[in-house]
Amino acid sequence: MPADGSVNGRSLPRVAKCGLSSIANQSVRMPENTTKPRLKVKPQTERPKLYKVILVNDDFTPREFVVTVLKGEFKLSEDQAHRVMITAHRHGVCVVAVFTRDVAETKATRATDAGKAKGYPLLFTTEPEE
């Protein structure tokens, strides 16, 4: 390009020189509320934590009553209820079923209260699943 800035004989508009020294000492304002773009996408359908309802053995509650409560509160069949009862009787405890926290606690309380109403020490507890 010739010294007068012309290209192929045509003069081009003059462009002001952008001297860096003119902005070097100015403070530059950054936006205050910037947000980082999210790199990992969180699944929108996380499964709720589950809680076990546990039947605890005792020496006083009649076997048949335990079976009746298991059928009524946990909708177990006669056969399932008998297996759960006999497992708790032999081993001390047995997992009855797993539910969300609210449901597990409500069922454990109702089943324990059913024994209490008859004067039995029948006990159902809950604990979180690993």
By beta-carbon proximity to ligand TYC, the closer residue of 71 and 89 is 89
How many C-beta atoms surround the C-beta of residue 65 within 10 A? 16
Is residue 97 a contact residue for ligand TYC (CB under 6 A)?
Answer: no
Is residue 105 a contact residue for ligand TYC (CB under 6 A)?
Answer: no
Question: Segment contacting ligand TYC (CB under 6 A): 18-26, 44-52, 58-66, 103-111?
Answer: 58-66
Q: How far is the CB of 92 from ligand TYC (least distance, A)?
A: 9
By beta-carbon proximity to ligand TYC, the closer residue of 53 and 88 is 88
Q: How far is the CB of 105 from ligand TYC (least distance, A)?
A: 18
DSSP assignments along 86-127, one per residue: HHHHHHSEEEEEEEEHHHHHHHHHHHHHHHHHTT---EEEEE
Dist CA 71 CA 4 (whole Å): 100
Is residue 58 a contact residue for ligand TYC (CB under 6 A)?
Answer: yes
By beta-carbon proximity to ligand TYC, the closer residue of 58 and 105 is 58
**14 three-class SS:** coil
Q: What is the DSSP letter of 54?
A: E
Tell me how many helices (H) and strands (E) the chain has.
3, 5
Is residue 61 a contact residue for ligand TYC (CB under 6 A)?
Answer: yes
Dist CA 70 CA 53 (whole Å): 11
Q: Which residues bind ligand TYC (CB under 6 A)?
A: 55-59, 61-63, 66, 85, 88-89, 122
